[in-house]
Amino acid sequence: MLFSAAADSYGLAVRELRGEFGRDLRIERVGAELGRVDGVPVRELAAACDAGRIMFVRHLTVEIASFEELPPEYELAELVLAELPEYPKALAVQAWTDGPGGGSYYHRIEEALAARGVAVTRSGQEYVVSCFGGRKAILLGVNRLADSLSDWPGGRMRLARGEERVSRSEFKLEEAIATFGLELPRGGKAVDLGASPGGWTRILRQHGQEVWSVDPGSLDPRLRGDRRIHHEATTAGRFFATNRVRFDVVVNDMRMDQVTSARMMLDAAAHLRRDGLAIVTLKGGGKNPLDGARRGIQVLGERYDVLHARQLHHNRNEITVVARKHD
C-alpha cells in the first residue's frame, strides 16, 4: 500500500504507523511525500486515519504495479480494470509527481480507459486510480474513494485563489469541510475565535451561518456590511464572560500552542448547543509536534468526541481537529 504525507512530516507519519501496527512494520520511502507500507489492510489503515489515531497520513492507495515507463494503453487499462469488482462506467484518476506536472500520466490513463468505454473524471467516483511519477519508478494504485482519505492527487487539494478571498487561511477551513464531508446546520450560529481578518468567517457565511467574529483586530472591509456578521472586538476570554448566545459551531485558528488552543475550546463548549460542532487547528512546532497534538486532543476529550484529526494539505505545520460536544 502507498501512503502520502507532507515531506516535513513523513517521519511523524512513520512513527504513527508503527505505533498503531507494530514497530516491525515494513515501510519504505519512495518519494518526498510518498511511502510504501506492507502487511496492513487498507480499510484498517483508513479507519485509523479517519478516527484520528493516525494524523499525518493524507492519502492512501493500493499499489498494483510499478514501471520504468507506463505500458501501452491496452495493458494499462487491463491492469486497472482487473482490480475492480465489476466493470465501471467511470473512474477518478489522480496523477502527481514530487515536483510540478503529472498531467501527462493523467492523460495517458484517461486515453487507455476511454478506449475501453470507461469515462474518466478527476474526482467524485467510487474508485480512484492513483499514479505517482517518481525519480526511480512510476507507481500505479487503485483504491475505493471511501478508503483513500482524499479525493485529490496525493491529498494535495488545490482551491481557487479568487479575488473574493480574505486570507489564505480560508483554504484550511474549506478543505476540512470538503475532506470530512461536514454539514453545518442550516441557519446556524457560529463563533469564530481569532477571526481577523475574517477568512474563516467568510467561509462560515458561505455555509449559511450567522457568525460572531471574535478578535481585537479588524475584519476585512468586504465583510463589514454583512448584517449576519457580528464583530466582537475583544478577546475570547472576555467575550465568553458576557456572551449569552448558544452556538451550533465554534472554530479556532488562533496562533497558540496545542494545549492552550484545546483549553480555549473547553471554554467554548459551555456556549455550544448539545452536539455542537468544533473545528480547531492545533499548531505544530517544538521538538515533538505529534506528542503536542496528542496532548491537545486529550484535553479536547474532556468535553468533545473527536471525529477527525489530520494534517491536511493547507495545514502546513498544523493538525485540523473536528469534534462534537458530548454533553
- Give per-residue pLDDT as tens, 290-311: 999 999 999 999 999 999 999 9
Q: Which domains does the chain have, with CATH numbers?
A: 2-155 (3.30.2130.30), 170-325 (3.40.50.150)
Whether the per-residue pLDDT at 121 is higher than 90: the answer is yes
Residue 146 CB neighbour total at 10 angstroms: 12
Q: What is the pLDDT of residue 192?
A: 98
Whether the per-residue pLDDT at 286 is higher than 90: the answer is no
Please give the Cα distance from 198 to 5 (Å, whole number).
29
Whether the per-residue pLDDT at 53 is higher than 80: the answer is yes
Q: Which residues fall within 8 angstroms of residue 145, CB to CB, at 6 or more apart?
A: 92, 125, 126, 127, 128, 151
Q: What is the DSSP string of 204-228?
A: HHHTT-EEEEE-SSPPPGGGTT-TT
Residue 175: phi, psi to the nearest 5?
-65, -40
Enumerate the active-site residues.
283
Q: How much is the pTM?
A: 0.93
Of residues 233, 244, 161, 152, the one with CA closest to residue 199: 161
Mean pLDDT of 261-280: 97
Contact call for residues 113 and 131 (beta carbons, < 8 A): no
Q: What is the pLDDT of residue 183?
A: 96
Sign of the alpha-carbon dihedral angle for 311, 314, 316, 318: negative
Mean of pLDDT over the chain: 95
Q: What is the pLDDT of residue 102?
A: 65
Q: Which residues fall within 8 angstroms of residue 83, CB to CB, at 6 or more apart?
A: 62, 64, 142
Residue 258: phi, psi to the nearest 5?
-60, -45
Please give the Cα distance from 107 to 58 (Å, whole number).
24
Q: What is the pLDDT of residue 285?
A: 67
Whether the per-residue pLDDT at 260 is higher than 80: the answer is yes
Q: What is the pLDDT of residue 284?
A: 80
Amino acid code (one letter) for 250: V
Q: What is the DSSP string of 116-176?
A: TT-EEESS-SSEEEEEEE-SS-EEEEEEEGGGTS-SSGGG-------TT---TTHHHHHHH
Q: What is the pLDDT of residue 152?
A: 94
Burial class (CB in 10 A: 0-12, 13-18, 19+), 38: exposed
Q: What is the pLDDT of residue 16?
A: 98
Whether the per-residue pLDDT at 287 is higher than 90: the answer is no
pLDDT in tens, 59-85: 999 999 999 999 999 999 999 999 999
State percent of the chain over pLDDT 90: 90
pLDDT in tens, 211-259: 999 999 999 999 988 999 999 999 999 999 999 999 999 999 999 999 9
